[in-house]
């Protein structure tokens, strides 16, 4: 394996871990947002990262019974993107562990709060690329994220195909 590929793989694993560490102690959605933005700012300013990707997907629009399956699907797509890109990539599955989600859910956050959260995070210039997974158009959240990407000039990448190892 070439050195650049090894470095990219290490960087991707580091991104997942950095996101988890950054938000671990967050008690509010505002704290999660601030911690993510501080991490992304640090990556750009201190580490010289020039591209950061985000993977968007349907999560809740299929109904509550499909959320676990959709989260697993998003995680698989995120891992696939990480293997194919040389820059850091993250998704909602990196940010929101079950523990953090339960803590925030107990605080009474509503759908509108999540929409505002992602608009604020993705509206910043730190995220340069957005990867749209199949069926994103059926998701209210992913459709909103798409509009943010268009409005802020992010590079859009589309999965116009299914991958056997991803779509089981």
For residue 59, give its domain range: 3-158
Answer whether residue 167 is part of any domain: no
Answer whether residue 164 is part of any domain: no
pLDDT at 110: 73
pLDDT at 153: 97
Please, what is the angle between helix 29-45 and helix 111-123, to 10°?
Answer: 10
Answer whether residue 105 is part of any domain: yes
Q: Which residue carries 């608009």 as its tokens?
A: 119
Answer whether residue 163 is part of any domain: no
pLDDT at 112: 77
CATH number, position 132: 3.40.50.10400
Answer whether residue 34 is part of any domain: yes
| Contact between 90 and 77 (Cβ < 8 Å) | no
Domain count, the chain: 1
pLDDT at 3: 29
- Per-block average pLDDT, block size 10, for the chain (168 residues)? 38 81 92 96 95 95 92 93 94 91 77 88 97 94 96 94 56
Q: What is the pTM assigned to this prediction? A: 0.87
How far is it, in rounded angstroms, from Cα 52 to Cα 85? 10
Answer whether residue 168 is part of any domain: no
Answer whether residue 166 is part of any domain: no
């Amino acid at each position: 394996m070439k050195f650049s590929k090894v470095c990219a793989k290490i960087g991707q694993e580091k991104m997942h871990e950095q996101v988890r560490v950054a938000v671990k102690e967050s008690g509010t959605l505002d704290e999660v947002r601030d911690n993510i933005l501080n991490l992304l700012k640090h990556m750009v300013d201190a580490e010289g990262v020039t591209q950061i990707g985000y993977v968007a997907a349907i999560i809740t629009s299929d109904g509550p019974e499909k959320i676990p399956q959709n989260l697993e699907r998003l995680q698989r797509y995120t891992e696939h993107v990480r293997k194919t890109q040389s820059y850091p990539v993250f998704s909602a599955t990196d940010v929101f562990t079950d523990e953090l989600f339960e803590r925030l859910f107990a605080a009474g956050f509503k759908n509108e709060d999540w929409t505002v959260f992602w608009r604020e995070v993705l509206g910043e210039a730190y995220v340069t690329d957005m990867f749209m997974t199949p069926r994103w158009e059926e998701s209210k959240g992913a459709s909103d994220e798409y509009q943010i990407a268009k409005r802020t000039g992010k590079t859009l990448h589309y999965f116009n195909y299914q991958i056997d190892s991803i779509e089981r």
